[in-house]
Amino acid sequence: MKKFITLLCAALLFAGGSLRADEGMWIPSLIGTRIKDMKSKGFKLKAEDLYSINQASLKDAVVLFGGGCTGEVISDEGLMLTNYHCGYYFIGAHSTVEQDYLTNGFWAMNRSEELPNPGLNVKFLIRMDEVTDQVLEGVTDQMPQAERDSLIRLHSQQLTQQATAGTHYEASVEPFYYGNQYFLFLYEKFTDIRLVAAPPSSIGKFGGDTDNWIWPRHTGDFAVFRIYANAQNQPADYSPDNVPYRPRKSLAISTQGLKEGDFTLVYGNPGRTLQYVVSDAVDYTLNHGNPDKIRLRTKRLDIMNAEQAKSPAVRIAYAAKNARIANPWKKWQGESKGLARLGTLEKKKALEAEFTQWAADKPAYRDLLPELHKLYAELAPYAYARDYYQEVYEAIELTAFASGASKNVFKENAARAADGYFKNYSRTIDILTAKALLQEYEENVPQAWMPAYFREAVQKAGSVEAFVDTLFNQSYFSSPENYAKLMALDSADRAAALKTDPALQMAEAFTQYFKTRIDPRYRQLNAQINQLYRPYMRALMEMQPDKTFFPDANLTLRVSYGQIEGYKPVDAVSYEPFSTLEGIMEKDNPDIYDYDVPKTLRDLYASKEYGRWGVNGTVPVAFIATNHTTGGNSGSPVLNARGELIGINFDRTWESTMSDYEFDPVKCRNIIVDIRYVLFVIDRIGNAGYLLDEMNIID
């Protein structure tokens, strides 16, 4: 282990080598190893300004938002920004046909109007400590894996207990470099988070799925929340007595203007990257996983889009569901194109050929690749079956609802418990989806990999379509009317009805098959693969001593830096790095929901009364930069060289989505909503300029 740490330190300190410009997601507590390179690109601050446990630093203004996004604190009264799409579920949860905040936007005019969001939390990082020696004390490469894992869990539990003893903090120990290094993360979690402002979706999601992952972009992808605490400024469950949180640090906001070449820094929580996987993983993604998942989700989206277009109520009910399906669907398409364009699979195979030759006389490493190839070959059919389980069975809402609701049908409020579910449910969409996807399942999954119940039920019904009709006609969980009939039965009859309900039978068959036939072996094989990546990672560092290695993303706080820069997506096409209000008006189309610009914005454009937000006769909207980002970076603050907020990260370009596997400095760009557009919308569209009074805006 000491040998690995020596290799790691050398890799982090090496500023040149084969690491390409702006690639990397760096650990904040070790950012001092990158400061020299950052300063050479224009950064003006010290490492302690980014991360410190002895004084307030920029890390204290950044939060993990809702367990999958990032947010930033922008006032000393707990005001917080994140992406509109990160808060989309909660905005939708407050919306009805009569009070449609998705379409019309939401603007609290005072704090009494701010809306609580049950289930939403944010977490501040208090500190992170390298604990590799403590976690791996007594661990050897020779001990059985189960014993190794048990000892690591024990040490991790002891460390988190010690770190949180006598405090209200939470802690976790996370592996880096496939378990060659470990860090302890200490967090403070707040659960009283209130919605303050959200633009109409025609701003917050402008362009919808058509523009998703695309540049040029004109989306005002932001929402405003506020963190509340108790009188002692500590986390507390929602209470009207809670007060705005007083943060250790809030971000200053710069409206001083941007130009191509300006330094940019993204401070956020990237979710997952796979920079060091072998060719087998890339091959499955490129040639099997992505094509199948794209095809299946295309069918779902075609059905959903058609039904949403027919009804405002269905559009609202399925808005967040549609977004959750469409976002990865489009990302996978760009990812596959990028991997093919870069020849990532061929590059991996070339590296492995070099590795094989290098490791031939090294007993500790020479069998790693053959064993990895063998395990991936065994994993492939399980991965295939798992993909179809998730993309087909889990796409059917009826069976998921039946499975959950059946556990509560004897409780006192069971009759009302389903109201929220049916409010956001379309039986038509679910039936059409079930028919389309189960037909794909029946045609493409080998019979040996599907539940016997499904094979026999389809055979008995005569077709997938007939089976689905029977399923929805006979299940008590398929409509409010059928559910009411179930609730009207006495306890004995209700219990008997549950035993024969076809949706429950299907849920039980698929779930049990997945839990017993697919998932255990899938997890076991992945665990064995990850065990081999640990020595493979060490070996790569030994083989490439001049290469700079950064750890894969794992939803912990990271720094990435780069600059504002345009790019050429294809031959003879060049993209400038900035978009403006002019582009919004060029796309304006009242007949298309995603491009129907609000009248207030049309009027402002006509009058050109932009006030302090006008720049050269227009309003800046978005820009792109070369920062290395991924999922989880949504909502991350984008800072200038002085650490001031200049935008909110919300996407990557379509040509960048393969960067989870391979970063291409020529084409990889992250997309950022310009903070000036955010402030313009708050001020001139929402008429909530009072919020600006509590911000530190540097003009």
3-state class of 195 per DSSP?
Answer: strand
Residue of 60, 192, 221, 651 marked active site: 221
Q: Is 221 a catalytic residue?
A: yes
Question: For residue 336, is it left (φ>0), alpha (ψ between -120 and 50) or beta?
Answer: alpha
3-state class of 364 per DSSP?
Answer: coil
The tokens 């991996």 sit on which residue?
348
Residue of 29, 156, 406, 634 marked active site: 634
Q: Is 18 a catalytic residue?
A: no
Distance of CA 128 to the CA centre of its chain: 22
592/309 Cα distance (integer angstroms): 10
Which contacts qualify for 314-318: CB closer than 8 Å, 24 or more apart?
314/426, 314/429, 315/593, 316/92, 316/95, 316/96, 316/97, 316/100, 316/102, 316/103, 317/423, 317/424, 317/425, 317/426, 318/424, 318/426, 318/429
389/422 Cα distance (integer angstroms): 24
Q: Which two tokens stand for residue 89?
A: 């579920």
Residue type, 683: D
Cα separation of the two ends of the chain: 50
Backbone angles phi, psi at 91, to 5 degrees: -65, -45
Q: Is 150 a catalytic residue?
A: no
Task: Please answer whether residues 322 and 308 qualify as being in contact, where contact means their C-beta atoms are separated by less than 8 angstroms.
Answer: yes
* Cα-only R_g, the chain: 26
Core vs surface per residue 407-426: b (16+ CB within 10 A) or e: eebeeeebeebbeebbebbb
241/23 Cα distance (integer angstroms): 46
Residue of 29, 52, 57, 85 marked active site: 85
Distance of CA 48 to the CA centre of its chain: 28
Kindly list the catalytic residues.
85, 221, 634
